[in-house]
């Protein structure tokens, strides 16, 4: 049931997914994570037993730092891999499912009895349960599922974004060269795309919104 009442939505939830914007500010050189932190704080005040799953793009180490900052151990990180205008399709046919959880008890866990009590096996089980929910919601069968540490999961998202941005830049440069030299851009792309190491996907000169 859809609702605008956050407290009502969080009260009986087993999982709360955070997909708040974390736009990167190149001038200040940081991700604005304030919206997500505000939501996590509200969830904790209403239902401290809920497992919070962050899907927003965040810096490496953010989730661990947030656990310490807010005193909340029930936080997982599961990156989303959604393209512009293709979000529904990419949820139904995901390329992979990744869930990060604390692989070991950190200094915060050692110092905080409440966090220590819910660390370890509890979050590992929660990670597998959440991955199962994503699998159930997908139409695609046999979706690859990976479990890893929080920082590794955060890094997967950032490095995937970086690679795709480089790929867009590459084909944009190819297009610029072809235009300057009076060449057929598409013919060149078709020729190099048949190399299986390059492939025929995500190779159209564009602003990068999907690249197909």
For every one of its 212 residues, what pLDDT tens digit does the chain have, with 9 covering 90 and above? 788 888 999 999 999 999 988 887 787 788 888 899 999 999 999 999 999 999 999 999 999 999 989 888 899 999 999 887 889 999 999 999 999 999 866 655 655 655 555 555 689 999 999 999 999 999 999 999 999 999 999 999 999 999 998 999 999 999 999 999 999 999 999 999 999 999 988 888 876 554 44
Burial degree of 164 (CB within 10 A; 0-12, 13-18, 19+)? middle
- pTM of the predicted model as reported, rounded to 2 decimal places: 0.85
Burial degree of 163 (CB within 10 A; 0-12, 13-18, 19+)? exposed
Residue 124, phi then psi, degrees to nearest 5: -65, -45
According to DSSP H, which parts of 112-196 are helical?
113-118, 121-137, 150-181, 185-193
HSE on the CB side for 199, CA within 13 Å? 6
């Amino acid at each position: 049931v859809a609702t605008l009442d956050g407290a009502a939505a969080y009260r009986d939830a087993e999982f709360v997914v955070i997909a708040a914007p974390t736009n990167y500010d190149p001038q200040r050189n940081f991700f604005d994570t304030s919206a997500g932190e505000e939501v996590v704080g509200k969830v904790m005040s209403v239902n401290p037993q809920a497992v919070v799953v962050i899907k927003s793009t965040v810096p490496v180490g953010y989730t661990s730092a947030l656990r310490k900052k807010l005193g909340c151990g029930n936080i997982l990180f599961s990156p989303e891999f959604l393209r512009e205008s293709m979000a529904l399709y990419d949820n139904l046919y995901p390329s992979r499912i990744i869930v990060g959880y604390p692989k070991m008890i950190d200094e915060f866990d050692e110092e905080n009895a409440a966090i220590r009590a819910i660390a370890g096996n509890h979050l590992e089980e929660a990670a597998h349960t959440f991955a199962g929910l994503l699998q159930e919601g997908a139409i695609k069968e046999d979706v690859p599922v990976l479990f890893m540490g929080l920082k590794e999961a955060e890094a997967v998202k950032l490095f995937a974004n970086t690679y795709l941005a480089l790929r867009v830049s590459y084909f944009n440069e190819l297009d610029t060269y072809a235009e300057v030299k009076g060449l057929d851009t598409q013919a060149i792309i078709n020729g190099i795309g048949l190399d299986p190491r390059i492939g025929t996907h995500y190779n159209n000169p564009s602003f990068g919104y999907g690249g197909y």
